Amino acid sequence: MKKFAVFGNPIAHSVSPTIHQMFAKSCGEDIGYEKILVPLDSFAEALESFFSDPQAVGCNVTVPFKQQAFEIAIDNSSAAKAAQAVNTLSKDSHGKIHGYNTDGMGLVRDLIAHDTDIKGKRILLIGAGGAARGAVMPLIEQFPAAIAVFNRTKEKAIEMVDSLSHELLTVVDKTAVNDFAADIVINSTSASLSNALPEGVTPELFAGCELAYDMAYGKQRTTFMEYAEQHGARQQLDGLGMLVEQAAAAFTIWTAKSPDTAPVIQYLRVKA
Ligand code: NDP
């Protein structure tokens, strides 16, 4: 049996085992997938112990170990390099551990699944943390007209945009953000985790907005989604689809099989 796991702290809330077992069943794979709660100072040791099992094939990595996973991997995909973070590790036949970041691909696949045409669109990306970093290059690959990054701490947005260095990518501050006229507004901040609206968000951001996307997800629509709808965004989506799509991309890296994501999203929407 191929063995997989998700490493994080905290980890109890993770639905990754459910997602990957559903994928495995639909693809005819027999897998084990466990949640591993890792003490904050023991990620490298926990990883080594997991991969020492000959049946261990790969793992997911979540908060707060994504940057450490990037450093541990023998090499990293271009998306992982852009994000400077890894959410998926895979062991090859020589026992070497390779790093990937599938979060941005998950976002793009979910947008496409909702018939969102990214090409030629003006995208406002709120936040400049790990999730934002992972999203930028996969979004750019879909040929938007422009991506503006708006972050509570402007210096972090500048640092991110400078390091990714692309002509479509700029920073906007609170004096300019209302004039950006975004078609798509993406909330990549962690504000929704405390039921808050990201600082600096104003009604003007949603005036001509066709989609407000919140990377966070939960049982209820987020504060950001409610606010966006109230102020004119025509469609609002949460990040559940992104979660399942990034998992599907990881599953493909490990097994070379592409699971159907729609039934899993539907199941989690109702049950989780
Ligand atoms: P980080 O901790 O790396 O970054 C957090 C970001 O949120 C920073 O830009 C921070 O700004 C900003 N922020 C936090 N609180 C506020 C606030 N009250 N107002 C404005 N900005 C705020 O987190 P991640 O990037 O890893 O994750 C961000 C979100 O994305 C989380 O909700 C996470 O659940 C979600 N996510 C979803 C995924 C999915 O598959 N659906 C995958 C990965 C992440 P500052 O720099 O000023 O501190």
Output the pLDDT for position 45. 98
Q: What per-residue confidence (pLDDT) applies to 271?
A: 83
Find the residues whose C-beta lies inside 6 A of ligand 1. 103, 106, 127-132, 151-153, 156, 188-193, 196, 198-199, 215-217, 239, 242-243, 246
User: Cα-atom radius of gyration of the chain, to the nearest Å?
Assistant: 18
Compute the average pLDDT of residues 127-150.
Answer: 95
| Ligand 1 atom 2 nearest Cα | 129
What residues act catalytically? 66
Is the pLDDT confidence value at 70 over 80?
A: yes
Mean pLDDT, residues 205-227 taken together: 96
Please state the separation of Cα 77 from the chain's center in Å.
15
For the purposes of burial, counting CB atoms within 10 Å of the CB of 103, is it exposed (0-12), middle (13-18) or buried (19 or more)? buried
Mean pLDDT for 120-136 is 95
Looking up tokens 């908060």, which residue turns up?
Answer: 63
pLDDT in tens, 76-93: 999 999 999 999 999 999
Is 238 in contact with 221 (CB distance < 8 Å)? yes
Mean pLDDT over all residues of the chain? 97
Q: State the DSSP H helix or E strand holding residue 78, giving kind and residue range, or none if neither.
A: helix 78-83
Q: State the distance from the centre of ligand 1 to the C-alpha of 65, rounded, in angstroms.
A: 15
Q: Which atom of ligand 1 is nearest to the CA of 245?
A: 40
Structure pTM?
0.96
Ligand 1 centroid–CA 147 distance in Å is 17
- pLDDT more than 90, % of the chain: 98
Residues 105/246, Cβ–Cβ less than 8 Å: yes
Examine the pLDDT at 272 and tell me if it is beyond 80: no
Query: In this structure, what token pair is assigned to residue 156?
Result: 């972090």
**How many angstroms is it from 151 CA to the middle of ligand 1?**
10
Query: What's the confidence (pLDDT) of residue 128?
Result: 96
Average of per-residue pLDDT across 204-217: 97
- Model pLDDT for residues 152-174, shown as the tens digit of each residue: 999 999 999 999 999 999 999 99
Burial class (CB in 10 A: 0-12, 13-18, 19+), 200: middle
DSSP state of 206: G
Ligand 1, atom 44: nearest CA belongs to which residue? 131
Q: How far is the CA of 136 from the centre of ligand 1 (A)?
A: 14
Testing ligand 1's pocket by substitution, the residue of 108, 188, 243 carrying the most ligand atoms inside 8 A of its CB is: 188
**Mean pLDDT (whole number) for 185-206:** 96
- Over the stretch 224-263, which tens digit does the pLDDT of each residue have? 999 999 999 999 999 999 999 999 999 999 999 999 999 9
